[in-house]
Chain A
């Protein structure tokens, strides 16, 4: 039975729990808010607290040429990555889920596993392979690495979505007179569409954000936006980064928020 001491200790236990959650939530929010705040400082150098306020950093960002080329490269990479990842995964998942093929689970597992491999080790492996076939420092090489990086998430999203679309729906459409193709297009693929869009966004963002493969495999010539930020933070800080980071944060959040919603739609 509960005693008085138990009651006090239980109260303490509850409050410690709440404190942990509170600190956790705060810890999650602070960095984002902090960067957004600093981006509206007009000081020459980054300092806290800012002495003058304004939008100079955003003006810098949109007028200087430093950023245009890396942003362009990152956008192209991300778009190609998203398309290739989908072309690779979508037919595979549909095939595996609808054919009860033996080994389907194994293929799915093998394509998700890279998510858990240490990125650095895997980057060295790719480095060796690319050196062999001359893909180092090439756009195609980076696309390949980004696709493999995106595949696990795309597989997870599409496979969970497919699991939620019951095969009876297609059968029901067929008993009511729809041809196999029509049942597939009008029911299964239609229901899968939000997940496909969500997966495409996830793949896009994962490539747009990627900084490790580009460092190991990109050579000096290919500078993506994350690489540029990475380098400039390492070797002296351009204050405009706060503005870039804020814009990036907002766009990525919006995209990923949208993608998460799309994913939920299927359920």
Chain B
């Protein structure tokens, strides 16, 4: 009964990825595609931009996300948990294009953020917020927070709250309790969350285009340009493989650190 799914995975998941690697090594300049990709300043810049911004997104999402997850774990009042869950899941429910559109409107020259900053007297003239790295990081963080929360939450539910009371009963301060008891216990969740958020982030396409524009190229946007503007499919394949290798390395490292179960548990 599993045969159709297995065939679908073989032909539609494994084969395309295999073909990608194969094409990147045989078409165009062959292995030279990679040399060309690394020689192109646009692609080098895109790779650095992608990694730097994804790292920022990961730090922000995981910090906010695990704080939210822990609050959800500890909250006892139903109303509080309901509101928090709704807030956390809202980005999931909003749709990818719609939430980026919302950020575009918020960050525009005559958008709400500039309006409030002027009202507060912090700035005289509207500042450029949209089409900056800041906008991209903000929009992507918004998208990734639910992933971060859901990835960290399962390990947090497994923490026995009595342990924290025990630590404090033995004289540990709250900060000490956090660093010596809670952190070690939730580390697998945090690591899984970090890896998942980073791996998904580096493949982003919609947000960099809508909120970053030409100023903040992502690997995905240069790939798209290579295919549709420069008709350089071999180089696009090479860039895609680079993207894939980064994602797989990050996930592999995380798996080595905390095991497959923590990663799988982080997916829902």
Direct contact of A and B (CB under 8 A): yes
B62: shortest Cβ distance to chain A, in Å?
12
- In the complex, number of A-B residue pairs with CB atoms less than 8 Å apart: 253
* Bound Cα distance from A209 to B99, whole angstroms: 11
Are the C-beta atoms of B210 and A92 separated by less than 8 Å? no
Is the interface on chain A under 10, 10 to 19, 20 to 34, or 35 or more residues?
35 or more
Are the C-beta atoms of B4 and A256 separated by less than 8 Å? no
* Bound Cα distance from A101 to B5, whole angstroms: 15
A196-242 residues with Cβ-Cβ distance < 8 A to B are 208-212, 215-216, 226, 229-230, 233-234, 241-242
Q: Which of B14, B16, B142, B264 contacts A126 (CB 8 A)?
A: B16
B85-114 residues with Cβ-Cβ distance < 8 A to A are 87-106, 108, 110-112
B201: shortest Cβ distance to chain A, in Å?
9
Is the CB of B132 closer than 8 A to any CB of chain A? no
Is the CB of A28 closer than 8 A to any CB of chain B? yes
With both beta carbons as reference points, the residue of chain B lying nearest to A241 in the complex is identified as B101
Q: Which of A24, A110, A115, A209 contacts B64 (CB 8 A)?
A: A24
* Bound Cα distance from A17 to B206, whole angstroms: 32
Is the CB of A262 closer than 8 A to any CB of chain B? no
Is the CB of A29 closer than 8 A to any CB of chain B? yes
A58: shortest Cβ distance to chain B, in Å?
16
The segment from B28-36, B37-45, B158-166, B168-176 that touches chain A is B168-176
A190: shortest Cβ distance to chain B, in Å?
19
* Bound Cα distance from A228 to B106, whole angstroms: 20
Is the CB of B57 closer than 8 A to any CB of chain A? no
With both beta carbons as reference points, the residue of chain A lying nearest to B10 in the complex is identified as A110
With both beta carbons as reference points, the residue of chain A lying nearest to B93 in the complex is identified as A253
B interface size (C-beta, 8 A): 85
Is the CB of B47 closer than 8 A to any CB of chain A? no
* Bound Cα distance from A93 to B204, whole angstroms: 30
Are the C-beta atoms of B1 and A94 separated by less than 8 Å? yes
A16-58 residues with Cβ-Cβ distance < 8 A to B are 17, 20-21, 23-25, 27-32, 34-35, 38, 46-49
With both beta carbons as reference points, the residue of chain A lying nearest to B85 in the complex is identified as A260
* Bound Cα distance from A234 to B97, whole angstroms: 11
At the interface, is chain A mostly helix, strand, loop or mixed? helix
Is the CB of B237 closer than 8 A to any CB of chain A? yes
Q: Which of A129, A229, A233 contacts B16 (CB 8 A)?
A: A129
A262: shortest Cβ distance to chain B, in Å?
14
Are the C-beta atoms of B16 and A125 separated by less than 8 Å? yes
User: Which 10 A-B pairs give the minimum distances between C-beta atoms?
Assistant: A118-B203, A95-B1, A125-B16, A120-B220, A31-B102, A92-B5, A121-B240, A92-B2, A91-B1, A253-B93
Q: Please list the residues of chain A having a beta carbon within 8 angstroms of any beta carbon in chain B.
A: 1-2, 6, 9-10, 13-14, 17, 20-21, 23-25, 27-32, 34-35, 38, 46-49, 87-89, 91-92, 94-96, 101, 104, 107, 109-129, 144, 147-148, 151-153, 156-157, 160, 208-212, 215-216, 226, 229-230, 233-234, 241-242, 245, 248-249, 252-253, 256-257, 260
Q: Could you show 20 A-B contacts with beta carbons less than 8 Å apart?
A: A21-B84, A24-B64, A24-B65, A27-B64, A31-B142, A32-B90, A34-B105, A35-B98, A118-B202, A119-B205, A120-B204, A120-B243, A121-B203, A121-B223, A125-B20, A128-B16, A211-B206, A215-B224, A252-B93, A256-B92
